[in-house]
Amino acid sequence: MKPVVVLVSVDSNSVLKGAREYKNLLIDLVEEYNLSSVVDVLETGSFGVYLDGVLLEVLPDGIYYLVKSSSDVREIVEEHLLKGRRVFKLEVPPEKVRAGVVEKIEVPQETRVVLRNAGVIDPTNIKEYIARDGYAALAKALTEMKPVDVIEEMKKSGLRGRGGAGFPTGLKWEFTFKVDADQKYVLCNADEGEPGTFKDRLIMEGDPHSVLEGMAIAAYAVGANKGYIYIRGEYYESVRNIRKAIEDAYEYGLLGDNIMGTDFSFHVSVRLGAGAYICGEETALMESIEGKAGRPRLKPPYPPVSGLFGKPTVINNVETFANVAPIILNGADWFRSMGTESSPGTKVFTLVGNVVNRGLVEVPMGTTVRELIYVFGGGVEGGRKLKMVQTGGTAGTFIGTDKLDTPLDYDSFTKYGVSIGSGVILVIDERHCAVDIAKNVLGFFAHESCGKCSPCREGTRVALQTFDRLSKGLAKKEDIEYLWTLADVMQQASLCGLGQSVPVPMKSLLQNFADEMEAHLKKECPTGVCKFVKEKPRRPVLR
Amino acid sequence: MKTSADLDSSLYQRLDDYIESVKEKPGILINVLHKAQEIFGYLPDEVLEYVAEKLDVPVSKVFGVVTFYNFFSRKPKGKYQIKICLGTACYVKGGDKVFERFLEELEVEPEEPTKDGLFSVHPVRCLGACSMAPVVLVGEKDFYGRLTPNDVPSLIKKYREG
């Protein structure tokens, strides 16, 4: 890696203005002045702005020049590269260039921050990431900001954890910053296992450096020098692209010792998950990185005090880290201009189930369920009637059509009983039975409960068996009342977020589809999915 | 350390090389098990004992970790592992019916290899490809989406004929 990099923006516009010729001239001049060992000249894609000339960027200084002639190029080499003096008359203010960072892709009303590069750049080519302001935020943090400034900016931005719980990211960093320790860690939770969710996979596959840059900025802010990305073992492509990104970042001096010539060092390695949903829980994930079975720890102490290997640890989701660089680069006010007061910014949603267009969409916080399904999702497939939507993920709420106009953010659960979670919008049409869906959801949790605490271990199994009896017409009214009690117990007494959130889908199904539950007591399944039996059922097989 | 005749010693050599390259790192057990399963195809007890000895941890700990995670298997699997997603998003698109059809066509129980050792069928919870629901993953990389039970026979045929 050479300490200085000159990026030449080469796109269909700048080529007409002589970009290739200027690039070759740059290379020749660098040679002529014996700067080849310290200066790299690289060709990149478009900076996203169109000016009357060719844009160059000098890294790590982050200075943009607009050149219109060979003598301009010569002046930059002789003054800036050789003597270290900026050529003010050729400079372009960064705001002017960076205005092009957030592009509106041509999808109706989508706002791409997290997915700014996904599908736009070659994710295995670090140069393409750099050309789109990649690592400029890290450079800014390292050279212009103290760790407290970074934390202050993150707090001001109001960014909340995108893994589902919505804890303010800046606060988390501040807690970790304030603890004195010889070793701190930054972890990226990429153990995406929530049925219906695949946003983190696409971020890692499409823009792996955005995650690394976010992690490096977090490490600088809290005083950590070591980080891990814990990726689901099944995500082969993500693992491949993240590993390549780490390798390239090391080569370019953007990871490793003395990053960009500063005192800051940060090392990252990949750890693989092995198929356990519980490992998405932060303390279980740490146990797993330590090479143990991933069973959650009792909290407190929380990770900022005692996390990985008992050291202060920041742990954030992939999508959270992907938000960091744009915030540092464009400022908290810019970030707050999107989304809602309590939940600024955008959210990546996954549209799945019986919906016409299935896939990812990134929109401002506060977008309603109806807009997501009908504007972006194109409505229910086959012209069928919408019956219910599960929002947030398998641990999220089931809502009926009466709640479609709920704006989704981190407060919509407490305000309206509709959770945003990890951003799943699972559309379920009229052919499906609420009791049958309940069995599927509880079957999942009964299988994935780690077994450490009894409310969750036993609760998920008993709830599954009870819904199973209901689906066979063998349940009594008391069974439904019992499910409510069971949900309360699990919510209050479970050790970790898994057991505590199983009641969310349970209660929302019991409440929003009470009539359908009641009907099953009378051996009636309105959709005809459930087959009623006379004899006592066997225990359901757990898969 | 005894090694059975059907486990090639060159496989142990590959595992050794990997362990040597990472053994200084803390908490590396799970990565070693990933590698071991990649090399041997599954994790027979003698491999667990071998890993325990090499990393100087109790066999009970290795056993505890292997049985905790779904990814690790102590039984041989088919040459082609067919993973069928039964997560909610695939379930509402009929993933369960595709799963049943695979079991019928191959005449096997879940997780057991077929008599010819070619296939094994595994129910899984979310492969992170929900937009293609219902999803089936054969091996490590062959994803098949938007399947119906009727697509199952031709899919099996494709792999049987190699």
Structure tokens at B119: 């296939």
Candidates B25, B68, B88; nearest CB to A440: B88
Residue B135 banded pLDDT, cuts 50, 70, 90: very high
pLDDT at B1: 44
**Helical (H) or strand (E) element with A85:** none
Residues 6+ apart with CB under 8 A from A361: A107, A110, A348, A349, A351, A372, A376
Alpha-carbon gap: A318 to the closest alpha carbon of chain B (Å): 14
Looking at the structure of chain B, the number of domains it has is 2
Respond yes or no on whether the N-terminal peptide bond of residue A300 is cis (omega within 30° of 0).
yes
Q: What pLDDT, on a 0 to 100 scale, did the predictor assign at position A302?
A: 96
Element at A144 (helix H, strand E):
helix A136-144
Query: How close B34 comes to chain A (CA, Å)?
Result: 8
pLDDT at B7: 65
User: B84 and B63 in one domain?
Assistant: no
Q: For residue A376, what pLDDT is reported?
A: 87
CA angle, B92 then A498 then A175, to 5°: 130
Residue in A with minimal Cα distance to B70: A275
pLDDT digits (tens, 9 = 90+) for A122-162: 888 999 999 999 999 999 999 999 999 999 999 999 999 99
Q: Are residues B16 and B62 in the same domain?
A: yes
Residues 113-152 of A with CB under 8 A from B: none
CATH topology of domain A434-521: de novo design (two linked rop proteins) (1.20.1440)
Whether B91 maps to a domain, the answer reads yes
Dig out the tokens for A312 from the structure: 């202060």
Q: What's the confidence (pLDDT) of residue A51?
A: 66
Tokens standing for residue B99: 């799963």
Domain A4-98 has CATH 3.40.30.10: yes
DSSP bridge partners of A362: A348
Find which of B28, B69, B92 to mutate to test the A interface (most A CBs within 10 Å of its CB): B92
Residue showing tokens 């027979």: B44
Mutate to test the interface with A, among B88, B125, B137, B141 (most CBs of A within 10 A): B88
Task: Report CA A167 to chain centroid distance, whole Å.
Answer: 14
Q: Does domain A346-429 have CATH number 3.30.200.20?
A: no
**Answer CATH for A126-336 from 3.40.50.11540, 3.40.50.300, 3.40.30.10, 3.40.50.2300:** 3.40.50.11540
| Chain A residues close to B93, C-beta within 8 Å | 353-354
- Give every CB contact of residue A40 below 8 A, 6+ residues apart in sequence: A2, A4, A5, A6
In chain B, residues with a C-beta closer than 8 Å to the C-beta of A423 are none
Question: Do the domain assignments include residue B74?
Answer: no
Percent above pLDDT 90 for chain B: 73
Cα distance from A261 to chain B (closest Cα, Å)? 27
* Amino acid in position B18: Y
| pLDDT given for residue B23 in this prediction | 84
Query: Residue A194 in 3-state DSSP?
Result: coil
DSSP A81: I
Nearest chain B Cα distance for residue A350, angstroms: 8
Residue A454 neighbours by CB under 8 Å, 6+ apart: none
Q: Are B35 and B92 found together in one domain?
A: no
| A294 contacts B69? CB cut-off 8 A | yes
Cβ within 8 Å of residue A172, ≥6 positions away: A161, A304, A314, A316
Q: Nearest chain A residue to B29 by CA: give it.
A: A291
Same domain (yes/no): B90, B153: yes
- B84 and B53 share one domain: no
User: What residues of A are in contact with residue B68 (Cβ under 8 Å)?
Assistant: 276, 293-295, 450
Note every long-range contact of A512-520, with CB atoms under 8 Å and residues 24 or more positions apart, other chains counting.
A512/A388, A512/A398, A512/A399, A512/A400, A512/A403, A513/A388, A513/A398, A513/A400, A513/A434, A516/A433, A516/A434, A516/A435, A517/A434, A517/A435, A517/A470, A517/A480, A518/A480, A520/A435, A520/A470, A520/A471, A520/A473, A520/A475
Radius of gyration of chain B (CA): 18
Q: Which of A234, A294, A429 sits opposite B68 (nearest CB)?
A: A294
Specify the DSSP class assigned to residue A502: T
Alpha helices in A207-317 (DSSP H): 208-222, 236-251, 282-289
- What domain range is B60 assigned to? 9-68
Q: Tell me which DSSP letter residue A368 carries.
A: B
Residue B123 in any domain: the answer is: yes
Which residues in chain B have their CB less than 8 angstroms from residue A437's CB?
88, 91-92
CA distance A300 to B155: 51
Could you tell me the two tokens for B154? 């031709």
Would you call the peptide bond into A301 cis, given omega within 30 degrees of 0 as the criterion? yes
Residue A307 forms contact with B (CB below 8 Å): no
Q: Do A450 and B68 touch (CB under 8 A)?
A: yes
A267 phi, psi to nearest 5 deg:
-115, 135
* Residue that has been written with the tokens 């372009």 in this structure: A92
Establish if A226 touches chain B: CB-CB under 8 angstroms. Answer: no
User: B133 in a domain, yes or no?
Assistant: yes
Q: How far apart are CA B10 and CA B78, in angstroms?
A: 22
What pLDDT, on a 0 to 100 scale, did the predictor assign at position A542? 62
How many inter-chain contacts (A to B, CB under 8 Å) are there? 129
In eight-state DSSP terms, residue A380 is B
B59 and B93 share a domain?
no
Q: What is the pLDDT of residue A99?
A: 45
Query: What was the pLDDT predicted at A108?
Result: 53
B87 CB neighbours in chain A (<8 A) are 195-196, 394, 444
Report CB contact under 8 Å: B131, A428: no
**Contact residues, chain A, for B131 at CB < 8 Å:** 198, 350-352, 358-360
Write the CATH number for B87. Answer: 3.40.30.10
Mean pLDDT by 10 residues, chain A (543 residues): 78 71 91 87 66 82 88 91 88 67 43 84 90 96 97 98 94 97 97 91 92 98 98 88 97 96 96 91 96 94 97 98 98 96 95 89 94 91 94 96 96 95 95 96 95 96 97 95 98 96 97 97 95 72 60
Q: What is the CA radius of gyration of chain A?
A: 26
Best to test chain B binding among A202, A235, A352, A436 (most B CBs inside 10 Å): A352
Q: Contact A275/B133, CB-based, under 8 Å? A: no
Per-window interface: A 442-461 vs B, CB < 8 A: 444, 447-448, 450
Strands across the sheet containing B142-144: B119-124, B80-85, B136-138, B142-144
Packed helices A514-521 and A454-471: angle between N→C axes, nearest 10 degrees = 60
DSSP class of A20: H
